[in-house]
Chain A
């Protein structure tokens, strides 16, 4: 692979590139699903190719091909340079990159059990057994389970001399039960909606989930939701379970801090951000109990945003985003770091595949644990609603106003978890919401949740991001708006 990379860089230089980097990637994926006791999807795929990014005449060009011969790669590199020269016809200014060292390294994400080595029969048997447990419950009309495994090798080479090989193994698994009854569809998922939990782990992730224990629980809840009380409309106290809080972090902190959005580079598609450059180190983003980091290092956990180097050859880092409630940092790359006074990229350039350009992405954007024990949090809440597992999510294109609904809620009265609530939802303005946070549970309740489906960029890229969260409490939140008829 290194020969192909070198060939591409040499060709790019000969054609007039002042800088070049190359990613040769081999991606393998296996997808298993069941539905109503039958196997649904059973597929695996591989994709291998090379992407060449160059600077020529002060502008970017990128080309990719799956023709991995010397001729194919050289043609691809030449095309990247031609495209860069075309970009220069309408460039705004010359691209300047922050300095970075050259690295020669090889890294593999840790895992205990290679999911591709686990017998498929065993994987399917587990999914079908969990599916069967859910189907035993009266009132359940649709049962679904899934596993997804990926193994990704990337060989990164740049014209400054970096040669970095990384191998990542990712696993995902989840189950869901749906109940249709009397003109109402209710669903429960475990351990999270939209495919469950995903992490930079091996098959041990699946084994840790104990699907058989949770399958009947969520099935019973899906059926019971039909007779639960409707979520009230009011301003009140909200407790978010960790899986919902992970998505809240993703949408209302993770996206606004992407510097490409802030600078208008996503204005046509993903949107911009309310976090204009003058807000850095000034904005009171959240209450003083809130601390958020963007941490791609393995020390933070085995999340979907964990790696050793980003796709620009910059080592993984931990960046303070919110410190004691104050806004402290953005996600940057080598091109934009200088705009926020940094000498170096924060290392967040990531690409979905060899045929996509790396763009600024969330790594593991996590809310650091607080001091509360979960039981104490409930016990010290006189009147509130606990919301668990996302059902719908939406936020405006500058990331101010959001609305989320969850699959299930629970009324909290007098420090006790009381009756089930259906169709729970809440909404708010990002900074008002985070400033209303008054309690965060401690590390014992903290999970690094994986969001596998974050879409951004044109052409669209889907990326996995990590979000550490423990249950947290928010005061005076608008509740119940999604089902309001007024």
Chain B
């Protein structure tokens, strides 16, 4: 068997072995090898995705590291077109025999389906705006460095009589999309996250950050913030469920509104499973809500192309509360007689596309100013287990978690037991009174976005839990 990619040599680090990603020429070499092999089959067109990931994650709980992992994988995914049919096969074996077998598997799948008269030819060569999201310092982070940062956080917890749990992750990845019409789109990035939960029985609080550049991460500051809030939350009182003014920190906004954006897919509207059916161009949300999808925003991450290699465009989704534009794959754009926006998923799929790089307009307030302007309300750190109750009115249910604080006469006066909410996002985004500047936020229920903290009136809490 011929190895398409050369052996990946572990680089010798100061203390730990680390893995370097394939050189870009080898990444391209895999794409070209698949395209060459496909020429001797009955594939009319061929598309190749190569994805490489080298990720590490240090996990801690009870003030010590309990899991510590590393993974390295290269995946090659091949889509062929034959006789108006298309299908995909994927492998992580890089030798020529395996790649040939993957091409054949894709063709075999395609031969089994009915012809698709709407299948488009693959796109040709494209031009991409450059983005630089690969930071060497992040790629070079060692397990020892992650362990040292974790140890400092755990030491802080122990000193405060608290218990720390969380993660410190770092990694690097690269991807390339190429096809038999000459398209080639490469992208690489680094990523790091630090997330911490500080527990002071019976309370807990949480802080998390995400960045391509690990030098922008400040684990100790996040630990201190979570620690202070956990201590504030130790004594809780129980409030009656009902409608409250809430101040949602950016992570809470992110996790909630993240459920809305698949509705901006042109395919979702065509399928009549979007809340935007019969609502495009109408005043749906408050006039202070404007949202774009913008992969080029300095606080955003991700490749500047989609699953077919089409360049991502900046799309104004909501303009002062009015849904203005949807995002389109090539297929949905053709049906709607629009231009593709570069948001398509890899084909074949039934979902079409989605915006993945959301940027809110934001405002000039701050959490402190929001509290100062609040006579009676709740400060929400984080939300949890959010699920959709009503897909058209976008009623979401979920829980508050890790720090719910009572705000009276402009100040936090104590912590309260966690609530369940049943809240329409459409109603909520009509009730936004104040917003902070949009920041890069990260949570657990949705992908990262650039969102502001929000002060929202009449947020609906339906039940209370026991802590």
Contacts and interface: CB of A to CB of B under 8 A. Distances in A.
A87 B387 contact: no
Contact of A43 (B62, B87, B112): B87
B386 interface: yes
Nearest to A53: B69
B61 interface: yes
A79 B17 contact: yes
Interface residues of B, number: 101
Contact of B60 (A79, A90, A128, A427): A90
Interface stretch (B125-133, B366-374, B393-401): B393-401
Interface residues of A, number: 94
A241 interface: no
Nearest to A74: B10
A180 B144 contact: no
Interface of A: 33-36, 38-49, 59-67, 69, 71-72, 75-76, 78-80, 82-84, 86-87, 89-93, 119-121, 124, 128, 141-142, 144, 178, 180, 183-185, 263-269, 271, 274, 355-357, 359, 391-398, 400-401, 403, 405, 423, 425, 427, 429, 458-459, 478, 481-486
Given A120-B108, A400-B465, 9 more contacts: A39-B348, A45-B89, A60-B68, A63-B70, A76-B72, A87-B58, A265-B165, A357-B67, A403-B463
Nearest to B149: A90
Given A43-B348, A355-B73, A121 B112 contact: yes
Contact of B69 (A48, A459, A481): A459
Contact of A119 (B112, B206, B277): B112
A394 B385 contact: yes
Name the residue in B60, B110, B112, B165 with the highest tally of chain A Cβ atoms < 10 Å from its Cβ.
B112
Contacts of B113: 39, 42, 120, 124
Contacts of A264: 61-62, 163, 165, 199
A268 B167 contact: yes
B390 A423 contact: yes
Dominant secondary structure of chain A at its interface with chain B: mixed
Most buried by B among A46, A90, A142, A481: A90
B10 A398 contact: no
Given A267-B197, A401-B463, A124 B112 contact: yes
A267 B66 CA distance: 12
A236 to B, nearest CB: 16
Given A62-B69, A459-B69, A180 B277 contact: yes
A2 to B, nearest CB: 19
24 contacts: A41-B349, A47-B91, A48-B92, A79-B10, A80-B70, A83-B70, A86-B142, A87-B58, A92-B63, A120-B112, A141-B272, A268-B195, A271-B384, A359-B67, A392-B389, A394-B385, A395-B385, A398-B467, A400-B467, A401-B465, A403-B463, A459-B69, A459-B71, A459-B169
B61 A268 contact: yes
Contacts of B418: 396
A86 B68 contact: yes
A114 B143 CA distance: 43
B55 interface: yes
Interface of B: 7-8, 10, 15-19, 55-75, 77, 86-93, 105, 108-110, 112-114, 116, 142-144, 146-148, 150-151, 154, 163, 165-167, 169, 195-197, 199, 204, 206, 242, 271-273, 277-278, 348-350, 384-392, 395, 397-399, 401-402, 418, 420, 422, 444, 460, 462-467
Contact of A63 (B66, B69, B165, B397): B69
> 5 tightest CB-CB pairs across the interface, nearest first?
A92-B64, A40-B350, A86-B143, A120-B112, A401-B465
Nearest to A64: B71
Contact of A90 (B64, B70, B420, B463): B64
A128 B55 CA distance: 40
B16 A79 contact: yes
Contacts of B91: 45-47
Given A405-B389, A458-B59, A43 B88 contact: yes
B16 A392 contact: no
B58 A39 contact: no
A396 B401 contact: yes
Contact of B8 (A72, A141, A481): A72
B420 A42 contact: no
Given A64-B71, A120-B109, A49 B206 contact: no
Given A39-B116, A42-B88, A87-B65, A178 B273 contact: yes
Contact of A427 (B8, B64, B463): B463
